[in-house]
Structure 1
Amino acid sequence: MSVPASSRRLILLVDDDTLLLDYIATVLRHAGYDTVGASSAADALQRIAEREGAPQEPGFALALLDITMPGMSGLDLARRLKDHTEVPFMFLSSVDDAETARQAASHGAVGFVVKPVDASRLLPAFEAGLARADEIRQLRSTEANLNAALAAGRETSLAVGLLMARYRTDRITAFEVLRDHARASRRKINEVAEQLVAAEELLNSLHGAFTARLRGK
């Protein structure tokens, strides 16, 4: 069954080997992805700039970069993508060793594919990298929403802190639980946070009253 064009993810393929570029594009298209090819790092940056200048067009969900290319290498291109764009990337390499994998990870790659490329190895590695890219994208979105919510409301900040302390969890998890509860009850997150803070204050007050009474006995 074909994937509707409106829901197909767009992948940027960067390699100076045009035959390999065509092969990978064919494999990914058959798997339900759209692709844009670039034969150099400069060409890739141009493709990204064109997409950024056309907001109505879908952006790249992932870039697959050959490490060894004439001119700007895949590693140098990765630095540019990491510093100046939101495009996640993974690497293609003809070298399969620990040092190359370490360099890929240190540059922020979400995956690594070793040449020669065949469909049976490419697709699992590619889809794992894309899943990792989506996780990072979601984490950034949640972090941005959390910072906005904390800046907008004192109660939300206090409520997140209370949940962190009570359930010994991290800030993002506490915020996500609070947000999901607010959505499920069709209420604003700040309203739920106010109720939680009020309940905590009441419990603290009752705790003080019980303590005073016990001491008086």
Structure 2
Amino acid sequence: MPLRVVIAEDEAIIRMDLRETLQEEGYEVVGETGRGDAVVDLVRETKPDLAILDIKMPGADGLVAARTINAEKLCGVLMLTAFSQREVVEEARDAGALAFLVKPFQKSDLIPAIEVAMGRFRELTTLTGEVDALGEQLESRKVIDRAKGTLIDEAGLSENDAFAFIQKTAMSERTRMREVADRILDGSLRPPTD
């Protein structure tokens, strides 16, 4: 699968050169615009792997678009600009740019910048997934602990017995311990009384 790219550049000649260069290198250009206020919708519609954004564009600048694309984790962002001042680079980084190119640039600069942006985007996506999984595990652990507390208070079980009841019920029903804990907390599941 070729890398799918959206280009947002207000200078038509640069946009055309970018498209041709990307296509020559085997990338698929799935959308282009010259307006900063149109690029976010274009990215949402086309679902590219990478958005190449000029910083200065009519409608909204590339930094605004980059912030939105980054916040929604839509794709990787490579910023283009004619300005190389440190403040501009820092603004682009803070907006979520994963790589940065100063115009005019060479084809030999563009491809490595794309690869850097995509590598960083993959790393961020992986880290976000790991953080989400850890957050879910922590939340499950809290629910299971509350369910154990309920069993200790209401059924008079020890902590080990409460945990064993949750675990055995989950295994026998082939479900997650979190689901068993949820049923204990909503009152629909209690251990049998002797």
- Provide TM-score, normalisation by structure 1: 0.60
User: Is the counterpart of residue 75 in structure 1 residue 63 in structure 2?
Assistant: yes
- Contact preservation (8 Å) 2:44, 2:74: no
Mapped to 2, the partners of 1:12 and 1:132 lie a distance apart of 18
Q: Alpha carbon RMSD of aligned pairs, Å? A: 2.7
| Counterpart pick for 2:135 among 139, 147, 157 | 147
Q: Which residue of 1 aligns with 2:96?
A: 108
Mapped to 1, the partners of 2:113 and 2:45 lie a distance apart of 28
- Contact preservation (8 Å) 2:43, 2:74: no
Q: Which residue of 2 aligns with 1:28?
A: 22
Mapped to 2, the partners of 1:60 and 1:149 lie a distance apart of 31
Percent identity between matched residues is 25
1:1-217 aligned within 5 A: 7-35=1-29, 36-51=31-46, 59-152=47-140
Mapped to 1, the partners of 2:78 and 2:45 lie a distance apart of 21
Which of the two has higher C-alpha Rg? 2
Count of residue pairs the alignment pairs up: 147
Runs (4+) of structure 1 exceeding 4 A deviation are: none
| Corresponding letter in the other structure for 1:137 | T
Structure 1 unaligned spans of 5+: 1-6, 52-58, 155-189, 191-217
| Corresponding letter in the other structure for 1:41 | G
Mapped to 2, the partners of 1:133 and 1:84 lie a distance apart of 13
Structure 2 unaligned spans of 5+: 143-176, 178-194
| Corresponding letter in the other structure for 2:10 | D
